[in-house]
Structure 1
């Protein structure tokens, strides 16, 4: 009696070892993740290893002469170069000013624009437009607006009787001016993230709180703000990392001045690598910045996890 073809296929499938099926599933899984894994190895891990290797050398980009010096570049930055700690201080001041101001303004705009009303799409587009505007054009325009007497900002202040400072040429004002212009440039992105998070909060929670007699502030503090915590953490981490990576605004608006008042770590790395051609030292600075940003990110994640417990 002939065995049907379907029964033969079923019997053949049953005879396949289970271990072979597991191997097949593992191979398929690795094939699916291979594109992103390849990109991670080529564009992140590979360059990171290369930069760490360069940081162990004294390599002059102009003369193309290199010598292995071990941890000498790190020791020079951390203990023998006074400019390094001044740059770190400027970077921390920039981050401390930009991150809370950006997040507070983004949340305020999101609360105002999260509910539908006439023209809400227009206002969202207006506040998001600087995000997609060329950073070069943005910085150049603000550089003209913040000029001493010819700048539009000081001319507007003069109308109300205020004598505005030379924003980008006075050490006490240059850092504040760069922070504010950067906040205006990037606040739209965080605003959109907050709007998306607010629209996922059920309105039933707010209505129940109002029935209990809660005020608008109590509703925000006890209902909305806790539910925004995951989004707030993501925004805080992204904004903090971006604050340490800022380069274009510093390069185009102040050049690190006046009196190195806006010389932040990313711009200092550029100067050491491509102005003074000290690739080894610049690589060591880049590794230090990587560690600083990673530590700050881990601290933020740990604090968030502690608050959730």
Structure 2
């Protein structure tokens, strides 16, 4: 069987061959703000690269901004784009990059990979998204509450000349209200969703073997982690005593659980119940949960930046 490679001026020759479902998603994502729901390993980054190539070809003087929740993810996407696209001006920006240097690198590059906290902080310092023709939100199911994605999307839609949003996720939520919130926060106009069972996807599904490797946190992290967990545990106990949670065990409570509780409390408030104290409590628990995640995945400096906001 002859392999048909993508022929595009901004794509390296004989680099990628799009699958049918990828072609379909790309063709629909180039002209409307799109949420792409695709199982892990089925080429969401390649779809993002192709939409980026289209936008840069259409708006050659513009920039692409690819946001990922963590630095390792941003670096990973940068490597994929480097392999695929015939574009040299790409850079990864994170909180580890000095502020003055970030401004210089932003101006010099066409595709910027960054963590959302970094961009949100730079927006406060005067960064303009006016010339960004596409923002990609990786793991866009995080675009709820006061997560940085929400503020960035809002600012982008207000200021960009040629705006387009692409949200990528493998698991948006089983709660329709949360999905609606994500779509609203990212100004989504179209949803492209595929599952393991779709005919055009099934041939590419591979069994996944997971090897868990436990990494010990540095000693100074552990004391901070324990303090945050102590406060979070107390708030979970309160939510449990109010009947919103079945357990206050930290190992059995995750962000999705708290978001579902938050959704339930919002419904109560809309119906006329005085549940504002509960709303404040779950909002605080979500912030603490996010603080723990930052500490464990990005380190003390990212946690400091988050707490200073």
Q: Work out which of the two has the higher radius of gyration on C-alpha atoms and give 1 or 2.
A: 1
Normalised by the length of structure 1, the TM-score is 0.21
Higher helix share: 1
> Which structure shows the higher strand fraction?
2
Normalising to structure 2: TM-score of the pair? 0.21
* RCO higher in structure (CA 8 A, sep ≥6): 1
